[in-house]
């Protein structure tokens, strides 16, 4: 990569290297993108694990059923590839495509305060889960929230998610505090 590296705090995690694939230095990847092989649209990866950062370029990649494999430039040895297991695959936020109005990346939702229709602060979005039928927000209690309950709320716009205000750092939801 010849460009100036992005600040590490400005990175978005798009996947993770989970193991090796084959004997020629390919890696098996768990992709967080949808569809899975969209991860291959980004030719330069920033690999990060426990403070260790590596910059790698993708030579090729392919989807094998639900498994994504990638060949990284300069990586031809199975044992060298094995050493990359556990590294997160990141890109600078600036490389993400612009979304249509009303669409959000998960990283934008994480950390938002969740307030129900009665004005009760339920907590903050800790992370999102993909369930197959719909995405789910994991709302964890925090200082100032209504109680100490963790809640799982469906991320269904209009039915449960009433509004999202990124500038204010909050999401309004149609959700009973007792549920």
What's the pLDDT score for residue 1? 41
Sheet with 113-116: list strands edge to edge: 151-154, 135-140, 121-130, 113-116, 170-173, 161-165
**Tens of pLDDT, residues 99-126:** 999 999 999 999 999 999 999 999 999 9
Counted domains in the chain: 2
If you average pLDDT over every residue of the chain, what do you get? 93
Residue at 79 is within a domain: yes
CATH value at residue 56: 2.40.30.60
Contacts of 153 (CB under 8 A, 6+ apart): 114, 136, 137, 139, 160, 173, 175
Q: Answer yes or no: do 79 and 122 share one domain.
A: no
Of all residues in the chain, what percent carry a pLDDT higher than 90? 83
Q: Which domain holds residue 154?
A: 106-173
pLDDT at 9 over 80: no
pLDDT of residue 8: 64
Same domain for 64 and 111, yes or no, is: no
Same domain, 89 and 135: no
> Residue 127: inside a domain, yes or no?
yes
Mean pLDDT of 24-48: 94
* pLDDT of 2 higher than 50: no
Position 80 pLDDT exceeds 90: yes
CA–CA distance, 28 with 78 (Å, rounded to integer): 11
pTM for this predicted structure: 0.78
Q: What is the DSSP string of 54-123?
A: EEEEEEEEEEETTEEEEEETT---HHHHHTTTTPEEEEEGGGSPPPPTT---HHHHTT-EEEETTS-EEE
Bridge-partner residues for 152, per DSSP?
138
Q: In terms of domains, do 113 and 157 share one?
A: yes
pLDDT tier at 6 (50, 70, 90 boundaries)? low
* pLDDT confidence tier of residue 153, bands split at 50, 70 and 90: very high
């Amino acid at each position: 990569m010849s460009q100036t590296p992005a600040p590490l705090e400005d990175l978005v995690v798009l996947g993770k290297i989970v193991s090796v694939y084959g004997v020629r230095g390919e890696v098996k990847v768990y992709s967080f993108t949808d569809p899975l092989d969209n991860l291959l649209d980004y030719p330069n990866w920033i690999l990060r694990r426990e403070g260790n950062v590596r910059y790698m370029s993708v030579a090729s990649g392919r989807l094998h059923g639900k498994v994504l494999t990638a060949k990284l430039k300069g990586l031809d040895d199975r044992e060298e590839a094995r050493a990359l297991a556990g590294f997160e695959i990141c890109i600078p936020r600036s490389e993400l495509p612009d979304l249509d109005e009303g669409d959000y990346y998960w990283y934008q939702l994480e950390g938002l305060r969740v307030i129900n229709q009665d004005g009760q602060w339920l907590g903050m979005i800790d992370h999102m889960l993909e369930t197959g039928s719909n995405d789910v927000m994991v709302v964890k209690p925090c200082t100032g929230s209504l109680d100490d309950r963790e809640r799982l709320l469906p991320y269904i716009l209009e039915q449960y998610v009433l509004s999202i205000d990124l500038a204010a750092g909050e999401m309004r939801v149609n959700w009973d505090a007792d549920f």
